[in-house]
Amino acid sequence: MAALLEMRSITKTFPGVKALDQVNLTVREGEIHALVGENGAGKSTLMKVLSGVYPHGSYEGEIHYDGAVAAFRDIADSEKRGIIIIHQELALVPLLSIAENIFLGNEQARGGVIDWQGTFRRTEGLLKKVGLSEAPTTLVDKLGVGKQQLVEIAKALSKEVRLLILDEPTAALSESDSQALLDLLLELKAQGVTSIIISHKLNEVRRVADTVTVIRDGTTVSTMDARSQPITEDAIVRDMVGRDMAHRYPERERRAGEMLLEVSGWNVWHPEHSERQVIRDAAFNVRAGEVVGIAGLMGAGRTELAMSLFGRSYGRNISGEARIRGQVADLSSVPKAIAAGLAYVTEDRKSLGLILEETIERNVTLANLAGVSAGGILNENEETAVAEKYRAAMNIRTPSVFQKVMNLSGGNQQKVVLSKWLFAGPEVLILDEPTRGIDVGAKFEIYGIINELSAQGKGVLMISSEMPELLGMCDRIYVMNEGALVGELTAAEASQERIMSLIVTE
Amino acid sequence: MAMAETTETAAAPKGVGEYLKSHLREYGLLIALIAIMVFFQIVTGGTLLRPVNITNLLLQNSYIIIMALGMLIVIVAGHIDLSVGSVMGFIGALAAVMIVNHELPVFATIAICLVVGGVIGAAQGYWVAYWKIPSFIVTLAGMLVFRGLSLWLLEGQSVGPFPKEFQVLANGFVPDIFPPAIGERLAPLFDARKVNVLALCTGVIAAAVIVWMGLRKRARNRAYGIVDEPRAFFIARTAIVSLALVFIMYKLSTFRGLPNVLITMGVLTIIYAFLTEKTTLGRRIYALGGNEKAAKLSGIKTERLTFLAFVNMGILAAAAGLVFAARLNTATPKAGFALELDVIAAVFIGGASMSGGVGKIVGAVVGAFLMGVLNNGMSIMGIGIDYQQMIKGLVLLAAVIFDVYNKSKQG
């Protein structure tokens, strides 16, 4: 097959740093090409060069597309040639309908008057192609993330796409939605659409990709062809991090101590739809030194369980009993929950965990300002000392603790959130998707921190959508489905199949 | 991705140019104020910096500055208060009715008015904080309600004049505590009739404190290896600020000395600067404005803080209302009309962000002075109110554009 796209010796420099250094990428007509690499490796920058976000002339090197040298001035320019990029953060307008979103900026109109008949007809056709049965008039707001992703793809198809670029398309999707999306990609491939997929999920890459290109530190490390021989995940990981990772999950001495957190009869109702019960009669416990997992599909109620427990931050009509070290604990507000020894690391780091405009120092001390003040007056020297301590302990990579958190990479941001909660001195930490959107190297470090916590005798409750992670890290795993804990497995019993079968049979 | 790398390496020590670029906003405000003062000093033939005009400038802007302190906190917390002009007018009317019509004692009236201001703030803050009603709407309603209440209270008439004890709130001067002999001896040196030694001393001491605090902060930054401002910048900035302070105080000392209002303003500014920068309460307000959800999940009582920000604003609006009424020596139904916009403009010119979490007390005060000097200078020049409005509007727009441009460049 001929090459549809050839990027040759692409070099892109930002003030002070070479983001891309002589990167080569060849994508053949009709293949699915996976682009993998750690966060900050340069994948997104490369795609921005390709799609014209960084216009021709702002980088060095050549792009050959469809048999000619391409010099895109902006995104509109590259879209005209059939290159469509779907970003990780979806660009849909929630309060417009599916049809309106699909033809946003490309309205089916005659003389400025929209042809609704034609719009709906074409939308129906496109929705059928991506396997959605929703009506074109449905508001995007009403769809789950998985279906929204499909709408994005339908939107791309409406523009006669030749090269579809997906940036982390399954990052926010549940297992089954991810599968559906990947199936769709394979189907589009059969219809002749070429795609580039950026992903951290190596099992997915292995499943769909014909070719895998690994980028590290702004250079191309390797290109592997899955058609000549199967690609192993270990090989990809090795190239991504530049070292052999025999153990993706660090070893930990497993021992469970005294009972720390015991929850029983926990019921929660939806904050707006008061007749909907979100958590049903949940009971679980965490012992000192244990790492306990909660597995489940997206929407199973895992985050809702954690947030309702942590100062009733979610839901209403909450009932049930929580004991900490055997004593009934008052968790009715966040300050009380913190005082009782709980900490909750949120799933959504940027909007719920951090104050992005503030410095690392100020984020670290936020949950325990009393620890760096006397009589309400801050001791700035002590505050800096605390931040420096955690920067060293957590290996937060930054020139100074006075750096704004928004300038850090995802992994380092997560370390700041963990620092904040550790400084609050909790007994039990609830970690909600602690490694989401974090590259392999930083994941390993986060696992190390979790193990360190358990060695100190803290209890860890870990919510994750990545089953291998739960299997690799946890002593026990609770399985959650539709608001109820439907099973409990020890590390020895647990496997992906057992967890899935518990979810499916309930 | 790559952007993260850029900024992570960007904090290494760099040249003067780079430093200036990343701190353009802070210097810009100071430079703008100085430039405007120099400009008006020249075009008004030296009238701007005459002792009597400086005194006037302080009195004219005192109520704006007092309210800007509260407004900065409200805006940092992520809200806005459109009612402060009306509340200020209402409190002035209330004071007039109590003192002039009902002959209540001045001191009791002041205390009651401040409490009423707090209650008004609480009444508005309650809906904003606990019912999540947008502050724009609540305070827009408040603006109308209190405008109407002032009219009703005054029955459409102006009420005055106030007794002497009340007037001194705005028009009084701190008596010189030093023996007059010292002042008389100094007078020929400054080519003045008499010199207020207290004002002079205050200026010198305040300047010394500024230098000392600057040096201390610099030493601390050094110790933690924070990129520090280049020595030349530090010296220039500190020298300009402290010399300007001494200069203003010297001018005041050759007139009637320290206005009471200046003391009120100065003390309040110091208290609020301390509160916002050095206390856990202040830190929590910035966190609330920076990311309310994250602050709440970190154990911060966001509702209560929002409520308190509005209570505080109400008290300061009441204080401003008292000063305003005392200065005009009468309460009129139109007092404080559209003044909220001047206050809000001062805060934004001072570098606060519309989305909350960003802004400094000192910035708001300088912003208010900048507007004040513009007003005063243009009035001396005899520029019509029409042009004055247009120019002030454009200055506000320019300041905010400058902010946004700066931010996008640092990206």
Closest CA to B403 of B26, B91, B2: B26
ipTM, two decimals: 0.85
Helix (H, G, I), strand (E, B), or coil: what is residue A116? helix
CA B204 remoteness from chain centre: 22
| Beta-carbon separation of B287 and A362 below 8 A | yes
Q: Does A358 touch chain B (CB under 8 A)?
A: yes
Q: Which of residues 195-254 of B touch A (CB under 8 A)?
A: 220, 224-227
SS3 content of chain A, % helix, strand, coil (to 5): 35, 30, 35
Asked if the C-beta of A443 comes within 8 angstroms of chain B's C-beta atoms, the answer is: no
Neighbouring residues of B79: CB distance < 8 A, sequence distance ≥ 6: B128, B135, B306, B309, B310, B356
**Rounded distance between C-alpha atoms, residue A185 and residue A204, angstroms:** 11
Give me the residue from B12, B284, B301 closest to A399, CB to CB: B12
CA distance A345 to A341: 13
Same domain, A229 and A256: no
Beta bridge partners of A84: A164
CB contact under 8 Å between A14 and B290, yes or no, is no
* pLDDT value of residue B108: 95
Give me the pLDDT at residue A41, please: 76
Mutant choice from B14, B297, B303, B406 vs A, greatest count of A C-beta within 10 A: B297
In a shared domain, residues A180 and A293:
no
Residues of chain A positioned with their CB less than 8 A from the CB of B227: 400
Chain B residue numbers with beta carbons less than 8 Å from the beta carbon of A198 are: none
**Shortest CB distance from A19 goes to which of B2, B227, B294?**
B2
Quote the pLDDT of residue A252.
79
Contacts of A20 in chain B (CB under 8 A): 2
Q: Does residue B161 have a cis bond before it (omega within 30 degrees)?
A: yes
With beta carbons under 8 A apart, name residues in chain B contacting A384: 224
**Residue ending a domain, choose from A186, A221, A241:** A241
Is A306 found in the same domain as A237? no
A424, A441, A457: which is the final residue of a domain? A424
Per-residue pLDDT at A328 exceeds 60: yes
Q: Could you tell me if A337 and A361 lie in one domain?
A: no
CB distance A300 to A483 below 8 Å? yes
Q: Which residue carries 């008006």 as its tokens?
A: B40
Question: How many structural domains does chain A have?
Answer: 3
* Nearest one of B51, B55, B83, B54 to B70, comparing CA atoms: B83
Residues A278 and A364 in one domain: no
> For residue A347, is it within any domain?
no
Nearest to A357 among B9, B224, B358 (CB): B358
Give me the residues of A, 379-408, that contact B with CB < 8 A.
Answer: 380-381, 384, 388, 397-400, 402-403, 407-408
CATH number of the domain that residue A56 is part of: 3.40.50.300
Cα-based torsion angle of the residue sequence B123, B125, B131, B136 in order, rounded to the nearest 10 degrees? 110
pLDDT at residue A227, rounded to an integer: 83
Tell me how far apart the alpha carbons of residues B285 and B351 are, in angstroms, rounded to a whole number. 17
Q: What is the Cα–Cα distance from B324 to B59, expressed in whole angstroms?
A: 9
Q: What are phi and psi of A227, to 5 degrees?
A: -80, -30
Residue pLDDT, tens place only, A450-464: 999 999 999 999 999
| Confidence check: pLDDT of A377 > 70 | yes
Task: Tell me the C-alpha distance between A439 and A432, whole Å.
Answer: 17
Q: With a CB-CB cutoff of 8 Å, which residues 30-69 of chain A face chain B? A: 39-45
Domain match, A117 and A181 both = yes
Q: Does A218 touch chain B (CB under 8 A)?
A: yes
pLDDT for the residue B12:
41
Terminal-residue alpha carbon distance, chain A? 47
Query: What percentage of chain A reaches a pLDDT higher than 70?
Result: 97
Other beta carbons within 10 Å of B60: 16
pLDDT tens sequence across A206-257: 889 999 999 887 888 888 888 888 888 888 877 876 655 456 788 877 778 8
Q: Give SS3 for A328.
A: strand
Categorize the per-residue pLDDT at B4 as very low, low, confident or very high, splitting at 50, 70 and 90: very low
- Closest to A432 (Cα-Cα) out of A322, A312, A352, A324: A352
Residues A373 and A495 in one domain: no
DSSP of B295-308: HHHTT--HHHHHHH
φ, ψ dihedrals at A213, nearest 5°: -110, 130
**Rg of chain A on CA atoms, in Å:** 24
Tell me which residue in A313, A397, A399 faces B297 most closely, judged by beta carbons.
A313
> Are B8 and A398 inside 8 Å of each other by CB?
yes
Q: Looking at domain B22-172+260-410, which CATH architecture does it have?
A: Orthogonal Bundle (1.10)
**Could you say which residues from 283 to 302 on chain B have a Cβ atom under 8 Å away from some Cβ of chain A?**
283-284, 286-287, 290-291, 293-301
pLDDT tens per residue across span B19-74: 777 677 777 888 888 899 999 999 999 899 998 999 999 998 999 999 999 999 99
Give the closest residue to A234 by CA, choosing from A440, A446, A469. Answer: A440
Establish, for the pair of chains A and B, how many residue pairs have beta carbons separated by less than 8 Å: 133
Distance separating alpha carbons of residues A456 and A55, to the nearest angstrom: 52
CA B61 to each of CA A181, A222, B325, B366: distance values in angstroms, whole numbers, following the listed order: 63, 67, 13, 11
Question: Based on the domain organization, do A233 and A252 belong to the same domain?
Answer: no
Confidence of residue A123 (pLDDT cuts 50, 70, 90): very high
- Alpha carbons A28 and A4: distance in angstroms, whole number: 5
B324-to-A92, A108, A408, B46 alpha-carbon distances in Å: 51, 61, 48, 27
Would the CA dihedral through A413, B404, B225, B294 be positive or negative?
negative
| pLDDT value at residue A243 | 56
- B324 CB burial (10 A radius; 0-12, 13-18, 19+): buried
Q: Report the 10 Å Cβ neighbour count for A128.
A: 11
Structure tokens at B255: 């007139």
A218·B290 Cβ contact <8 A: no
Q: Is residue A283 part of a domain?
A: yes
Distance CA A302, CA A317 (A): 18
Using CA atoms, how far apart are residues A206 and A187, in angstroms rounded to an integer? 16
In a domain, A346, yes or no: no
Return the DSSP state at A2. Answer: -
What residues have CB less than 8 Å from A371, skipping those under 6 apart? Answer: A365, A386, A423, A424, A425
Measured between CB atoms, does A438 come within 8 Å of chain B? no
Share of chain B above pLDDT 70, in %: 93
d(CA B92, CA B381): 30
Task: Tell me the chain B residues in contact with residue A400 when contact means C-beta distances shorter than 8 Å.
Answer: 11, 224-227
Task: Using CB atoms, pick whichever of A16, A39, A337 lies closest to residue B1.
Answer: A39
Q: Is A409 inside any structural domain?
A: yes
Q: Is the pLDDT of residue B9 over 80?
A: no
Q: Based on the fold, state whether residues A283 and A218 are members of the same structural domain.
A: no
* Rg of chain B over all Cα atoms, to the nearest angstrom: 22
CA A498 to each of CA A178, A401, A478, A505: distance values in angstroms, whole numbers, following the listed order? 20, 44, 12, 10
In a domain, A419, yes or no: yes
Show the tokens assigned to A194: 């070429």
* Positive/negative CA dihedral, A469, A393, B220, B5: negative
pLDDT of residue B13: 45
- Residue A169, domain member (yes or no): yes
Query: Does residue A265 lie in a domain region?
Result: yes
Q: Which of B2, B224, B280 has its CB closest to that of A378?
A: B280
Residue A351 lies in a domain: no
A248/chain B closest Cα distance in angstroms: 23
* pLDDT beyond 90 at B96: yes
Domain that holds residue A456: 247-341+426-506
Please tell me whether residue B172 adopts helix, strand or coil conformation. Answer: coil
pLDDT in tens, B282-317: 999 999 999 999 999 999 999 999 999 999 999 999
* Residue B187 CA neighbour count, 13 Å, CB half: 12
The nearest CA of chain A is from the CA of B225 a distance in Å of 8
The residue to which tokens 């959650």 are assigned: A480
- Which of A20, A362, A407 faces B8 most closely, judged by CB atoms? A407
Extract the tokens encoding A191. 């219809």
Q: What is the pLDDT of residues A78-105, one digit of tens each?
A: 888 899 998 877 788 888 999 999 998 8
3-state secondary structure at position B336: coil
- Chain B CB contacts of A12 below 8 Å: 2
In angstroms, the CA A235 to CA A227 distance is 15
Average per-residue pLDDT for chain B: 89
Looking at the fold, whether A227 and A310 belong to one and the same domain comes out as: no
pLDDT digits (tens, 9 = 90+) for A1-56: 578 999 999 998 876 567 788 999 999 999 999 998 876 678 888 998 998 889 88
Cβ–Cβ gap B295/A376 under 8 Å: no
Which residues in chain B have their CB less than 8 angstroms from residue A44's CB? 1-2
Please check whether residues A313 and A337 belong to one and the same domain: yes
Which chain B residues are closer than 8 Å to A431 by Cβ?
A: none
Nearest Cα neighbor of A471 from A249, A147, A261, A188 is A249
B114-147 pLDDT tens trace? 999 999 999 999 999 999 999 999 999 999 999 9
What tokens were used for B364? Answer: 């708001």
> Sign of dihedral through CA atoms A191, A197, A203, A206?
positive
Q: Kindly report each contact of residues B123-132 with a partner whose C-beta sits within 8 Å and lies 24 or more positions away, as own/partner.
A: B124/B81, B124/B83, B124/B310, B124/B314, B125/B306, B125/B307, B125/B308, B125/B309, B125/B310, B125/B311, B125/B314, B126/B307, B128/B79, B128/B306, B128/B307, B128/B310, B129/B303, B129/B304, B129/B305, B129/B306, B129/B307, B129/B310, B130/B303, B130/B307
Which of A424, A457, A473 is a domain's end point? Answer: A424
Condensed to tens digits (0 to 9), the pLDDT of residues B232-255 reads: 888 988 999 899 999 999 888 888
Q: Where are the domains of chain B?
A: 22-172+260-410, 176-258
- What does DSSP assign to residue A5? E
Q: Are A427 and A459 in contact (CB under 8 A)?
A: yes
- CA dihedral (A170, A175, A180, A185) positive or negative: positive
Closest Cα in chain A to B4: A407
With bands split at pLDDT 50, 70 and 90, how would you rate the model's confidence at A290?
A: very high
Residue A347 has pLDDT above 70, yes or no: yes
Average pLDDT over residues A149-156: 89
pLDDT in tens, A390-439: 999 998 888 788 888 988 888 899 999 999 999 999 999 999 999 887 77
A11 strand-pairing partners:
A60
> What single letter denotes the amino acid at residue A352?
L
Q: Are residues A220 and A307 located together in one domain of the fold? A: no
The closest of A355, A263, A364, A271 to A310, measured between CA atoms, is A263
